[in-house]
Amino acid sequence: MPRIACSTLHLTHRPLVDALEHIAALGFTAWELPIRGDGVWLGHVDPGQLLKDPAHRAMVHAAAARFPGLRCVGAGFEIAHDAPLARECEHFTAACALLRDLGASGIGIFLFDGQAVASSERHAALRSIAVAHGLELSVETHLGTATQDPA
């Protein structure tokens, strides 16, 4: 049976377990996890906390385990656009490891203003990390970025 996923992004004002309960009650069979750092947008997971605090990772696993009928299909990942690439890669690696353990298949990143879609060092590095964790990398489309009019 095809899965229909719902992001928990609109429920980040609630604890993750409550957000998943709401999504399950709505009849969804899968979910997407917002992973946000540096205060760019509220998310259920802060990638910096994944690195510093094992309890943060355990909280995500515990919430997901409460809803065996829901599958995490992926995440949207974002930290500050001016973060050094080495730090972004470190945070992205922690996020990808979490997603792999949750059985997810993909992770999306934000394309910042003025960045090339596929040729940049950033995208090559993040794609390599995602692939190493068995994840498909996608790029979110936004007005004012290179993906606004990809043709």
The pLDDT assigned to 42 comes to 80
- pLDDT value, residue 46: 93
Q: Could you tell me what percent of the chain has a pLDDT over 90?
A: 68
Residues 6+ apart with CB under 8 A from 141: 111, 147, 148, 150
Q: Give the pLDDT confidence score for residue 38 in this predicted structure.
A: 84
pLDDT-based confidence at residue 57 (cuts at 50, 70, 90): very high
Is the confidence at residue 74, as pLDDT, over 90? Answer: yes
pLDDT digits 0-9 by tens, 87-102: 999 999 999 999 999 9
- Compute the mean pLDDT over every residue in the chain, rounded to the nearest whole number: 89
Given the DSSP bridges, would you call strands 5-7 and 71-78 parallel, antiparallel or unpaired?
unpaired
Q: Where are the domains of the chain?
A: 5-138
Tell me the per-residue pLDDT of 25-45, one tens digit each, with 9 for 90 and over.
999 999 999 999 887 778 899
pLDDT bucket at 64, cuts 50 / 70 / 90: very high
Q: For residue 79, which of 114, 49, 41, 108 has the smallest C-alpha distance?
A: 41
Is pTM beyond 0.85? Reply is yes
Helix (H) or strand (E) holding 139: strand 136-140
**5-138: CATH number:** 3.20.20.150
